[in-house]
Every structure is written in structure tokens, then in C-alpha cells.
Amino acid sequence: MNIRNLLVGSAFAVAAAAIPIAGQARVVEIDVGVAPPPPRVEVVPAPRHGYVWASGYWHYDHGHYVWKSGHWVVAREGHQYVQHEWVANAGRWHFRGGHWDDD
């Protein structure tokens, strides 16, 4: 086997491993005791065919909030995108990451 074939095969293996598998998708959820800052105002770009806008949100990271800007995600036929959300519950804040719902 020559070095070119080895490199091409390795690159393909890495790319294939990075492709998410629908059955392995999970929703990120966390609870914290500190309320997130108010959402930032974002200008949503004009619609793009085949994409859904995922709004920006506050991400809790190592004891503080970090703003994650909105971005386009590829639409999934038969699914609805549910935006990231923070919900107050019994003095704590619960975060549920954006995800696809097939209802």
C-alpha cells in the first residue's frame, strides 16, 4: 500500500466518523442556580431554502454564560427544529439544547 492510499483512506475514515447518526442524537440538558442574561437581539438573515435558523442562546460553561450566535442548520424532512431554551423551575434554571422533533 502506498502512502497516498493510506492518507486517502485515513481521511475518509475520519470524515465518516464525524457524520452524526440519527439514532445517536441526544438533547443536551443541564440545570444551574443562576439565571441566564437576557437574550441578545440578533438580526435573522433572509430565509435559505433547505435550512432552518437556530437562534443564538446563552451557553453555560465552567461557571459563566457565553453567548453562542445563531446559525443555519440543514432542514430535516418530516422534522421540526426546536430552539434552545432556558426555563425557570423551583429556583433553578433548566437548559434544553436545540434539537429535531419528529412529531
Look up cell 438580526; give the residue: 43
The full length of the chain comes to 103
By CB neighbour count within 10 A (0-12 exposed, 13-18 middle, 19+ buried), where does 53 fall? middle
Residues 59-75 have pLDDT tens digits of 999 999 999 999 999 99
Residues 33-89 have pLDDT tens digits of 999 999 999 999 999 999 999 999 999 999 999 999 999 999 999 999 999 999 999
12: left (phi over 0), alpha (psi -120 to 50) or beta: alpha
The pLDDT value recorded for residue 25 is: 57
pTM: 0.69
